[in-house]
Amino acid sequence: MRFDYPEGATPIDDISGLIPDWVRTQEDLNLVEAENISQAVRKYLTGRISLPHKWFTVSFLKQIHYDMLGEVWDWAGNFRVTNTIPGVTSYRIRSDLESLCAEVLFWSSDAVELTLIEQAARIHHQLVFIHPFPNGNGRFSRIVADRFLKALQLSSPQWPPDLGGDSQHRKSYISALKNADKGDLGSLVSFMEKHGAKDPPLSQILGSSFFKKLYQGKKLELLQKAYVRRGYDV
């Protein structure tokens, strides 16, 4: 069997965990993974989604990955035990994910100078940076970021379908992730906005009963500062 990977992807060196015995080519693998992931997309990105603080936990994140690839790989939903680039040292995976979950929980109750798209971009980048699983981390991270946005009743990006190949979209995407590695989320936010993600106008936040419950006092003040920093109308 031969599997090819674009820049930034994690190669699968060990295919012993492959479940379907009919897979022989990259095209076969792409097909069976796409079918499994489409089921997870329907499960996690449709219907009513609770606010992130109710589901953004390590165990739930592992379940999302399992549901994405559990019909294809026997390691789906399990943390990797080897080191990869990108990726934190394997022994740090759980603690780093717990820190990210704590940060998302903090956002639900305390003030932070980030727009909602910036929060989703940080989630996406941190999950890619941690690289919790043997493979599928980019796709997993995009689904989680999309679920975060949909939980807040916002549009998620229409991620380009050629991100898995050697396309210009992928090159821009990988460049944005590398910038985020250096602490600059701007290009990743711009990439997401270019493909359909959008922060709600401040007037919507001030006039919507849904957002009024989320943004009051110091939280609203810092959100306004983030809007000014992003150049939004306030």
Section 176-198 average pLDDT = 97
Q: Report the pLDDT value the prediction gives residue 145, as an integer from 0 to 100.
A: 98
Superfamily of domain 26-199: Fido-like domain (1.10.3290.10)
Q: b/e string for 166-189 if b means 16 or more Cβ within 10 A? A: eeebbebbbebbebbeeeebebbb
**CA–CA separation, 153 and 173 (whole Å):** 24
Please report, for residues 35, 124, 135, the alpha-carbon distance to residue 147 in angstroms, rounded to integers and kept in the order given: 19, 11, 20
Q: Report the pLDDT value the prediction gives residue 104, as an integer from 0 to 100.
A: 97
Asked whether 151 and 51 are in contact (CB, 8 A), the reply is yes
Q: Specify the higher pLDDT residue, 171 or 26.
A: 171
Name the band, by pLDDT with cuts 50, 70 and 90, for residue 115.
very high
Name the band, by pLDDT with cuts 50, 70 and 90, for residue 85.
confident
Asked whether 200 and 178 are in contact (CB, 8 A), the reply is no
Q: Report the pLDDT value the prediction gives residue 112, as an integer from 0 to 100.
A: 95
Section 167-179 average pLDDT = 96
Please report, for residues 58, 68, 145, the alpha-carbon distance to residue 61 in angstroms, rounded to integers and kept in the order given: 5, 11, 11
**CA–CA separation, 77 and 68 (whole Å):** 9
Rounded to the nearest angstrom, the gap between the alpha carbon of residue 160 and the centroid of all alpha carbons in its chain is 14
What value does the mean pLDDT of the chain take?
A: 93
Q: Report the pLDDT value the prediction gives residue 15, as an integer from 0 to 100.
A: 79
User: Which DSSP letter does residue 93 get?
Assistant: H
- pLDDT over threshold 70, residue 4: no
pTM over 0.85: yes
DSSP-based three-state secondary structure for 22? coil
Write the burial class of residue 139 (CB in 10 Å: 0-12 exposed, 13-18 middle, 19+ buried): buried
The runs of H, that is alpha helices, within the chain are: 26-45, 58-69, 93-109, 116-130, 137-151, 168-181, 186-194, 202-207, 209-214, 217-230
Section 131-153 average pLDDT = 97
What is the residue extent of each domain of the chain? 26-199, 200-234
Q: Which of 21-25, 50-54, 64-68, 198-202 has the lowest mean pLDDT?
A: 21-25
Section 111-120 average pLDDT = 97
Name the band, by pLDDT with cuts 50, 70 and 90, for residue 12.
low
Report residue 142 as tokens.
Answer: 């995009």
Q: Report the pLDDT value the prediction gives residue 184, as an integer from 0 to 100.
A: 96
Please report, for residues 11, 25, 97, 172, 218, the alpha-carbon distance to residue 4 in angstroms, rounded to integers and kept in the order given: 8, 9, 29, 20, 49
Section 16-34 average pLDDT = 92
Section 146-162 average pLDDT = 96
Section 160-180 average pLDDT = 93
Q: Report the pLDDT value the prediction gives residue 226, as an integer from 0 to 100.
A: 97
